[in-house]
Amino acid sequence: MGKELSFLLLALVLCHGLTLTTAYKGDKQWRKERETVEEEGDRRTEDRFLMPRSRPVMRTDAGEMRVVRSLRVRIIEKPLHIGFITMEPQSLLIPQYLDSSLILFVRRGEARVGCIYNDEMVERRLKIGDVYHIPAGSTFYILNPGEGQRLQIICSIDPSESMNLGTFQSFFIGGGTYPTSVLAGFSPETLSTAFNVSVSRLKEFLMRQQDGPIVHVAPSHAPSIWTRLSQLQVEDRLKQVKRIVQGEVEQVKEWSWWNLFGMFSRNGGKIFKDKAPHSYNIYKRSPDFRNDYGWSVAVDESDYKPLKDSGTGIYLVNLTAGSMMAPHVNPRATEYGIVLRGTGRIQIVFPNGTLAMDTKVKEGDVFCVPRYFAFCQIASRSSPFEFFGFTTSSHKNMPQFLAGANSLLHALRTPELAAAFGVTEERMRRFIDAQNEAVILPSASAAPAGDEEESEAVPEVIKSFGNDMIMGSD
Ligand X SMILES: *[C@@H]1O[C@H](CO)[C@@H](O)[C@H](O)[C@H]1NC(C)=O
In this structure, which amino acid lies at residue 439? V
**Start-to-end CA span in the chain (Å):** 44
Q: Name the one range near ligand X by CB under 6 A: 132-140, 251-259, 346-354, 428-436.
A: 346-354
Mark the segment that binds ligand X (CB under 6 A) among 14-22, 108-116, 349-357, 440-448: 349-357
169 in contact with ligand X (CB under 6 A) = no
471 is a contact residue toward ligand X (CB under 6 A): yes
> CA of 222: how far to CAs of 218, 226, 227, 265, 309, in Å?
9, 10, 8, 31, 40
Of 9 and 67, CB closest to ligand X: 9
Q: Which of 177, 200, 210, 352 binds ligand X (CB under 6 A)?
A: 352
- Asked if residues 300 and 307 have their Cβ atoms less than 8 Å apart, the reply is yes
* Window of 48-56, 259-267, 350-358, 426-434 that interacts with ligand X by CB under 6 A: 350-358
* Cβ atoms 352, 9 nearer than 8 A: no
Q: Draw the binding track, 300-319, toward ligand X (x: CB under 6 A; -: no contact).
A: ------------------x-
For residue 13, the minimal CB distance to ligand X (Å) is 12
413 to 7, 359, 407, 409: CA distances (angstroms):
12, 32, 10, 6
Total residues at interface with ligand X (CB under 6 A):
10
Q: Is 386 in the site for ligand X (CB under 6 A)?
A: yes
Taking CB under 6 A as the rule, which mask of x and - marks residues 191-220 in contact with ligand X? Answer: -----x------------------------
Per-residue H/E/C for 39-61: HHHHHCCCCCCECCCCEEEEEEC
Task: List the one residue from 320, 359, 397, 406 that touches ligand X (CB under 6 A).
Answer: 320
Among 171, 350, 359, 412, binds ligand X (CB under 6 A): 350
Minimum CB distance to ligand X smaller for 47 or for 274:
47
Binding segment for ligand X among 105-113, 219-227, 273-281, 347-355 (CB under 6 A)? 347-355
Q: Can you give the binding site for ligand X, defined by CB under 6 A? A: 196, 318, 320, 350, 352, 354, 384, 386, 471-472
